[in-house]
Structure 1
């Protein structure tokens, strides 16, 4: 019996004369895939990566720097890709490049291919993997450790440890969706909500937010705050690139409570900048879960004066319907994380 016979469920006689069972027939789909594969034999995955990098970078020079190849070489590879397709993919100008109508159609059809191929390899790879994980700003170290233990220590169906390795790096939430689709990261760590319907999410940490201020702050001596106290304060906050949904939803929640805060954005990746801003600006406060500032001698935490304060929900994300989504669902069940597919 050939592999094709076995796959398509043809019943081939065995030595005993009985027909060997096979999977459900899908002869047409497999034959179409074989035909498609023959027609793109001369395509190189490297060219797709070059194309996707130019799209994201916006200029050939920036893409070449990111890919660590020369600009003339990258330009030549893009021209070869366009010649193979038979259509221009980019409109070139002094300001950079933009996609043609054909380029947009090509992007729409191929942007999922790297991630699908990566998922297919990961589904059968016996060797330990290295998963790239994008991390948004200001995620506590203990959350990263929890994610590390969950994803790298997950069990297979046979009860053995999977042995995957994680490589974490700082990536704004605004960029994570695109990197997930291109296969450049396998998972993301974000603050919910995220406006990305193509992702599944597993909530690792869910805590109410409270007011954080320097010990020198005029309100630090009070054990309870009022909304009137807070209306006079500016709020140290995230920029939208760091946490788009969260950066918008929490101030909107505060406004419904009666605190229309004036926002003071700061780089949330740098704890030293966060601490410096609070200690040197008299009318500045921040919002954090209590656990995030416990043990910090220069800061105090007070609960928000609200029955239902806004919450911080930190979650791991993965592309919907891929191998990593199945992994995330399994890990969430093992670790007690809330898995969200909607």
Structure 2
């Protein structure tokens, strides 16, 4: 009677249609660290980029991904010369676990909140004016203090760390980072951003260059000189955008391609190509005595810096409040963050300049 009832209520399935769940021991052996590693590689598409984001060595990261694939019982990535690509099983696994680090971080945040202490992680990209960072931290502290209320026992601590812009974008989306000061992607609907500064690029020349004697130059005067170009490692997407615009405006320009943006490499290229120029967003080559930096008028390329967070995260309203209270651009360091409200900005003590990554 029982068998007849069960058979009539549930259709039979062949062995090929049945899919066994992984063992409990396999699932229990996977922890948050493995998920962070997997999601970082899935987001960046590269073990090398993920190791920068996670601050771990490449051999260790690769081994952990292989170990995870063994636990899951499926290949999660397809590997080729261009990077790491999710397989069909990898995409299904990502969709199932991608919210776990975010929920865990939110749970930790709630525990900190009810205990009267809040820890906020803020990453800072390389090659930016420290005044921009100082103003942003000060404005954040002011708004956080007002939200807490003068009689509240809540204590908020902003903790700074250094990370490239592309790594920050991945960390924000995965819930591994609260806020970031970065060069924002041009079309990312997952992030809530507030522009901190938007400075024009300046030009680096050899000190013996025929234009080096002038303190201010015009961009249209420099179109015939070779342009040294190095990929901006902090923000490859910005580097690609500017390069496309340069090629569109001056299609006949000669380029001198640099293998990377290390100051020693660029300094050597200027010695071999003394007539060349280079667009630069920061005084990264100030330490090389044979090079000079010059301001350029009418340069059409700019270096945007923004404060960013997840659009659906707990700090989105804070970034939105900064944007709504923006009172106008300052002469230096961005959009007048010191004018948020009427009270003076209280800067976070103990901040130090963030070195380039």
TM-score category (smaller protein): 0.5 to 0.7
Q: 1:155 to 1:296 in 2, by over 3 A?
A: farther
Structure-2 residue corresponding to 1:129: 119
| TM-score between both structures, scaled by the size of structure 1 | 0.63
Contact 1:202–1:328 at 8 Å: present in 2 too?
yes
Q: 1:325 to 1:265 in 2, by over 3 A?
A: farther
CA distance in 1, matches of 2:158, 2:61: 32
Q: Offset at 1:99? A: 4.2
SS of 1:317 mapped into structure 2: strand
Aligned length: 286
Alignment of 1:169 with 2:148, yes or no, is no
Q: 1:118 to 1:331 in 2, by over 3 A?
A: farther
Q: Offset at 1:107? A: 0.6
SS of 2:91 mapped into structure 1: helix
Match 2:236 to one of 234, 244, 269 = 244
CA distance in 2, matches of 1:309, 1:94: 37
Q: 1:292 to 1:316 in 2, by over 3 A?
A: farther
SS of 1:105 mapped into structure 2: helix
Q: 1:275 to 1:328 in 2, by over 3 A?
A: farther
Match 1:329 to one of 304, 310, 320 = 320
CA distance in 2, matches of 1:310, 1:92: 37
Higher RCO structure, 1 or 2 (CA under 8 Å, sep 6+):
2
The gaps in structure 1 that reach 5 residues or longer are 1-40
Q: Offset at 1:176? A: 3.1
Alignment of 1:103 with 2:90, yes or no, is yes
CA distance in 2, matches of 1:280, 1:154: 51
Alignment of 1:148 with 2:137, yes or no, is yes
Q: Offset at 1:282? A: 0.6
Identify which range, 152-161 or 71-80, moves more after superposition.
71-80
CA distance in 2, matches of 1:331, 1:205: 13
Q: Offset at 1:322? A: 0.8
Alignment of 1:287 with 2:279, yes or no, is yes
Per-residue deviation, residues 202-226 of structure 1 (Å, max 9, x unmatched): 1111123343324332211246656
Contact 2:202–2:293 at 8 Å: present in 1 too?
no
Q: 1:116 to 1:147 in 2, by over 3 A?
A: farther
Q: What is the RMSD computed on CA atoms of the aligned residues?
A: 4.5
Q: 1:236 to 1:69 in 2, by over 3 A?
A: closer
CA distance in 1, matches of 2:301, 2:219: 14
Alignment of 1:310 with 2:275, yes or no, is no
Contact 1:231–1:259 at 8 Å: present in 2 too?
no
